[in-house]
Each structure stands twice: as C-alpha cells, then as structure tokens.
Chain A
C-alpha cells in the first residue's frame, strides 16, 4: 500500500498570505489528523477529520482550518500567515475506529514564512 502523501513538500510564503496544504491518506483510511512541529513547541495536534467531519480540534487560532473530501483526502489552510507559523506540518492517517489505532504519518510540508 502506498503511504501517506503530502504536497507540497516545501513552501515559502510571506506574512499576511494564506496557504493550503494537502494530504492523501493511506487507501481505506478514513481519519486524517494534522500536527504542527516546531523546535520550540514540539509536536502539537491541530485537528482531526473523519468521514468529512471535524471530530477533534487542538488549541490553535481560527486562522488554522481544514476540510476533508469524500475520498478522505484532506486539506489544511492557514490564513494571514505569521512568522511563528513556520513549521513542519505533518499529516497522519488511520482507520479512525478507536484509541488503539495506529496513526501513519506523511513526510510533512515544510512551511517557511518570511
């Protein structure tokens, strides 16, 4: 099975712009979660989508949003970019059926905000 894919791998934006990141889960997986990784804050949960519905959300401002399509692909959007949004954004997929599910991560999108 193909793994989780994320596009683009690298992105450079300027403050105030917006950005959209894409994630394609493992075939058959219905849950997609997003995480932000920074040197200072480590790995932090952004949100999770399951069957096109946001099921869970972390403590991030409303500038961070996402959606999931009927084929389970997911996008996350960050509006009005700030310098502090520079990070590695990781997407993870799983079957989404329970706490024992394993999440499988994609390679990430490295976002740099100038």
Chain B
C-alpha cells in the first residue's frame, strides 16, 4: 500500500533559524511528491513538487525540498524561518499505483511553530 509518514506532529524553531519538516514515503514505482501548507481556516496551498531530475526542488516562499531515493524521504527545508511560516504542513505522494491520476495520499501533517 502507498503511504506517507510525517514523523513529527510539531516542529518548533526560532525565527531566523533553518527549519526542516520531515517526510518519508512508501510507494511502488516512481513517486511524485508534493508539499502543501495550510493556514487556519484555509485550504491547502501548493509549495513545491518533485517529479524527476534534480533532487533539490525549489518552491514558493523560499522553501525547498530534497528528494532522497535511497532513504525514501522528501524533507522540506527553509534556510531562515519566519514567524509567518507557522502553519500546518502536509507531504503527499501520487503515482500510477496510488489509485488514479489525482488521488493524492497525504501524510498526517506537521505543525510548524516559529517563535520570535
């Protein structure tokens, strides 16, 4: 079965410090990986995706993610955190084995808290 794990329920980081939100996946075949962010009472906003090619993917708002095939990971990173980055972050995967073109399989989410 296809699955995504976000091992940390919450990540705390001081403003200005680098942040990492972890994601590991288990899929058959090649994974297509996505990161979304959700602010309170809002829908999901797309941050970035990995399809193929360069393992380091750059996305919106200064976020980037590193795809590691051997560790089946796709960790989200940002060099310098902002208080406004505080939100709920979701990792998701999709591929030909996940049940359909637009069936995203999501992790449970990680709450990021950036302290001033």
Contacts and interface: CB of A to CB of B under 8 A. Distances in A.
B14 interface: no
A100 B102 contact: no
Contacts of A6: 43
Interface stretch (B17-25, B63-71, B75-83, B92-100): B92-100
Q: Mostly helix, strand, loop or mixed at chain B's interface? A: loop
Given A105-B43, A107-B42, A107-B43, A96 B103 contact: no
Given A31-B102, A33-B104, 4 more contacts: A33-B103, A42-B108, A43-B106, A56-B102
The size class of the interface chain A forms with chain B is 20 to 34
B109 A94 contact: no
Interface of B: 32, 34, 36, 41-46, 49, 51, 90, 92, 94-96, 99-109
Contacts of B41: 107, 110
B43 A99 contact: no
A54 B15 CA distance: 45
A90 B99 contact: no
Interface of A: 4, 6, 31, 33, 35, 42-43, 45, 48, 50, 55-56, 58, 90, 92, 94, 96-108, 110
A105 B95 contact: no
